[in-house]
Amino acid sequence: MGDIMYKSRFFTSGKFKLKRMKKLFLVLLLLQNCLIVGQAKIGSVAGVEETTNMSAYGTRVVVKKPLKNTVQGHQYYENENKLASVYVNGKKMRRAYVRYNTLNDEIEVTEIFNVLKRENIRVVLDEGYVYKMLDYEGTKQFFVFLKEGKNSLVMKVEKKVKQGQKGIDAYEQTTNDKYIEKRSYFILKADGDLLKVKLKQKDVLKVLEDKKNEIEKYVSSKGLNYKKENDLIRIVGYYNTL
């Protein structure tokens, strides 16, 4: 009888241990699955998934998931989305909010679409400037047309990431990575020449030298400054009237 009771207790105890082991195994398996899912989510945030679709105006666009931003500032020319009209072959196809991504040289439309680099694309912003493609340094690139006309004032906006520095002691401050913007100005002449110009009197008058005297008188009478972008827009506008 004692042997039977001992075997019964041993069998019951064994079943209990087996159940505990099964539960522990299930918990470990569940925890492992959670870790795998968590890692996949982290990877999807850090990476970029790209697919291609057809846009509403008949051109192929790239759909992107945004990168997790760890750099101070942003890579765009505009601080926020701007309302614009998109033209293809001179025909207005769509109204949309746009931003120019200076790192990728792409115009992002409604936050997820990128206008491809095609000569027939013209993006007119309500702010008063235009994006168009120009041949520059062997490639087609987007330029900001600040003043369109017989002779146009155009601008190339580029941004690069400046690496931050880690302080090595209590007296040296740690700085974050940040975007640095560079603006280059050009006069697109009526004959198609793209001439680089600095915001300096000497440079501006050299490019517009055929009307140098008239330009000098106009700048003086209006109190304009060759070093200011908005004043250069007015100067080029006046030059087109001569």
User: Which stretches of the chain drop beneath a pLDDT of 70?
Assistant: 1-70, 110-116, 167, 169-171
Please give the pLDDT value at position 205: 96
How many CA within 13 A on the CB side of residue 131?
Answer: 32
Distance CA 121, CA 141 (A): 12
Please give the pLDDT value at position 91: 87
8-66 tens-digit pLDDT = 444 445 554 555 555 554 544 444 443 333 333 333 333 344 444 444 444 444 445 55
Please give the pLDDT value at position 74: 87
How many CA within 13 A on the CB side of residue 152?
Answer: 20
pTM here is 0.57
Distance CA 175, CA 70 (A): 12
Please give the pLDDT value at position 23: 55
Please give the pLDDT value at position 56: 42
Neighbour order of strands in the sheet with 139-147: 113-115, 106-109, 91-101, 82-88, 121-125, 130-136, 139-147, 152-162, 178-188, 194-197
Please give the pLDDT value at position 240: 96
**Can you tell me whether residue 83 is helix, strand or coil?**
strand
